């Protein structure tokens, strides 16, 4: 029997990346939910900017390496649906809205649902089977046209507005221009999938997507505002920093899954959001007095 010990690959595992991203996200959401106190420093939110690009990368890795894509999709959908339904009732019925009118608008899981649909469509388009290619094209066309189709149905058949709204918040999320379901995150996720076979190119793509959308385009929009200073691109409009700083971590990734802790990460997202929200509501009378 050999006494040799197999050396572990250098770098960080997928689990390590997720743990790091989860800590960053927790910092961001502490700032998000307790911002009304004025006590949480802005750097909590700055650190949190690294979470989304890392989780997008991990989603691509998960989709490409899972043994059961359907099960992987259903797990994420199973979290996205109740969270989306709750968000719908908070937004349109005032259900469980904090006294100051604030409520959590986090919908990252819905973003993942939509991205997995795009990934599957692109995967089918890349096959050599004509039937799969045709089905992939139809699926891609549906995801791209669904927001316009839903809007048309709402105008044409007003009675369908509620059910279409619920669908858009749950099982059939729609592309938006901003927020968790914003176009930038979706474009970045798709770009990471398309460059998945070339890690250096993938890291550069991540940095360019974030810098182009969140620095260049934002700068062009805000440079004419009264009192604007270029320094604000680092202190106020700092979303771009997350993608640029996260890019080197993709190169540090060693391709190993790690310990996994799948159930923990699936539950952590909704648990920490609603836990922090409830705590911020419960402590609001005391923290505001101080």
Instruction: Give residue 10's pLDDT band: very low, low, confident or very high (50, 70, 90).
Output: confident
Mean pLDDT of 183-192: 93
How is the chain split among helix, strand and coil, in percent rounded to 5? Answer: 70, 0, 25
Q: Please state, in angstroms and rounded to a whole number, the distance separating the CA atoms of residues 157 and 164.
A: 10
pLDDT of 262 strictly over 90: no
Q: Please state, in angstroms and rounded to a whole number, the distance separating the CA atoms of residues 140 and 133.
A: 10
Backbone angles phi, psi at 182, to 5 degrees: -70, 155
Per-residue confidence (pLDDT) for residue 2, from 0 to 100: 41
pLDDT of 3 strictly over 50: no
Alpha carbon separation from 264 to 30, 216, 261, 271 (Å, rounded): 19, 37, 5, 10
Alpha carbon separation from 58 to 18, 22, 88, 98, 249 (Å, rounded): 7, 12, 27, 33, 11
pLDDT digits (tens, 9 = 90+) for 107-140: 899 999 999 999 999 999 998 899 999 999 999 9
The pTM of the full predicted model, rounded to 2 decimals, is 0.92
Tell me the Ramachandran region of residue 229: left when phi exceeds 0, alpha when psi lies from -120 to 50, beta otherwise.
beta
Count CB-CB contacts under 10 A for residue 275.
13
pLDDT of 1 strictly over 50: no
């Amino acid at each position: 029997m050999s006494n040799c010990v197999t050396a572990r690959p250098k770098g960080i595992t997928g689990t390590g990346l997720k743990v790091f991203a989860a800590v960053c996200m927790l910092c961001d959401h502490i700032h998000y939910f307790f911002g009304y106190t004025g006590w949480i420093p802005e750097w909590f939110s700055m650190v949190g900017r690294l979470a989304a690009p890392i989780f997008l990368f991990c989603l691509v890795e998960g989709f490409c390496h899972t043994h059961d894509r359907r099960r992987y999709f259903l797990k994420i959908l199973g979290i996205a649906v109740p969270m989306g339904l709750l968000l719908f009732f908070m937004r349109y019925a005032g259900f469980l809205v904090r006294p100051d009118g604030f409520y959590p608008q986090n919908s990252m899981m819905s973003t993942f649902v939509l991205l997995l649909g795009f990934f599957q469509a692109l995967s089918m388009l890349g096959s050599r089977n004509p039937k799969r290619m045709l089905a992939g094209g139809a699926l891609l066309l549906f995801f791209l046209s669904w927001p316009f189709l839903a809007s048309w149905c709402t105008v044409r058949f007003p009675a369908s507005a509620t059910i279409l709204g619920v669908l858009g918040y749950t099982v059939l999320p729609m592309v938006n221009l901003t927020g968790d379901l914003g176009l930038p995150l979706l474009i970045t996720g798709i770009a990471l999938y398309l460059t998945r076979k070339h890690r250096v190119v993938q890291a550069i793509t991540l940095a360019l997507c974030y810098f182009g959308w969140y620095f260049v385009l934002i700068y062009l929009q805000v440079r004419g505002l009264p009192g604007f200073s270029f320094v604000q691109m680092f202190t106020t409009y700092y979303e771009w920093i997350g993608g640029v700083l996260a890019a080197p971590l993709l190169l540090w990734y060693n391709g190993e899954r790690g310990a996994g802790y799948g159930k923990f990460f699936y539950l952590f997202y909704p648990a920490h959001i609603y836990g922090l929200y409830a705590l911020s509501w419960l402590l609001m009378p005391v923290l505001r007095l101080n």
